[in-house]
Amino acid sequence: MRVKARFLVYVLFALLMLFSVAVVQAFAAVGCDLNDPDRDVARLFPDSTGYRTTYASIDKRGGEPLLRRVETRLGERFHGIYETIDVPYTIYAIYNGKRKVGYIHGVNQKGQFGGIQVFVALDMEGRIKSFYIQKMTSQWAKKLRGSRFGRQFTGLTLKDFEPYDPVTGKGSGKVAEIRNPAPEAETDFRAALRAVKKNLILMDEFVYATGEGKP
């Protein structure tokens, strides 16, 4: 008897664990956190000594006007039931001693078969140091999560992404030079680019333009 009941508790518990991420973020809208910030911060900023986590959302930082501005800069409206004005964004400010050395920020983006969690590590000028896909569901996920693809983003800034149009998937300048390593996953490739552009715009609005982006 006991053994059976324990089994059931394990099954229920296991199912609970399977979706523990979703359960934890069981609020109005789902945000995008690093699964293991201690490890990831050390990996993306090897000379860092610590980090501080803050949360921002469009509705709290500027409401409807801010949303319009972001959508205009992105070149596309926010759509769907998950890309809403109240989504919380997690911003990690990275420190070396008392000096700020950069930021890490992630956004959720709808991919072809599941959600894509796209993180960028930025320096104090807003240049991309690293590009990291924490989660993605696709047969070709390996290619888009590989270093050959990620390297193409290093050194790029928001300015480079401004000419990218997420609706058509076309751009010019440095952003047009980014190669898709998995042509079968064109939808997800474009989703990743949109995610980076949105990521950079939000960082500009929340951090760099406000004066928080000062060391």
- Binding residues (CB under 8 A) for other proteins: these are 1-19, 21-23, 25-26, 30, 35-36, 80-83, 108-115, 134-139, 141-142, 145
Query: Rounded to whole angstroms, how far apart are CA atoms 33 and 37?
Result: 8
Best CA proximity match to 88, nearest among 24, 36, 159: 24
Whether the CB-CB separation of 196 and 120 falls below 8 Å is answered with: yes
Residue closer to other proteins (CB basis): 96 or 187:
187
Q: What are 52's strand-pairing partners?
A: 93
From the CB of 182, what's the least distance to other proteins, in Å? Answer: 13
100 versus 194: smaller Cβ distance to other proteins: 194
Nearest approach in angstroms of CB 210 to other proteins is 28
Between 18 and 176, whose beta carbon lies closer to other proteins?
A: 18
**Toward other proteins, which CB reaches closer, 87 or 122?**
87
Report, in Å, the least distance between residue 14 CB and other proteins: 4
Nearer to other proteins, 119 or 208 (CB): 119
**Using CB atoms within 10 A of its CB, is residue 190 exposed (0-12), middle (13-18) or buried (19+)?**
buried
Minimal distance, residue 24 CB to other proteins, in Å: 10
Please, what is the minimum distance in Å from the beta carbon of residue 82 to other proteins? Answer: 5
Taking the C-alpha atoms of residue 115 and residue 202, their distance in angstroms, rounded to an integer, is 19
Separation between Cα atoms, residue 139 and residue 145, nearest integer Å:
12
Burial track 57-79 (b if 16+ CB lie within 10 A, e otherwise) = bbeeebeeebbeebeebbbeeee
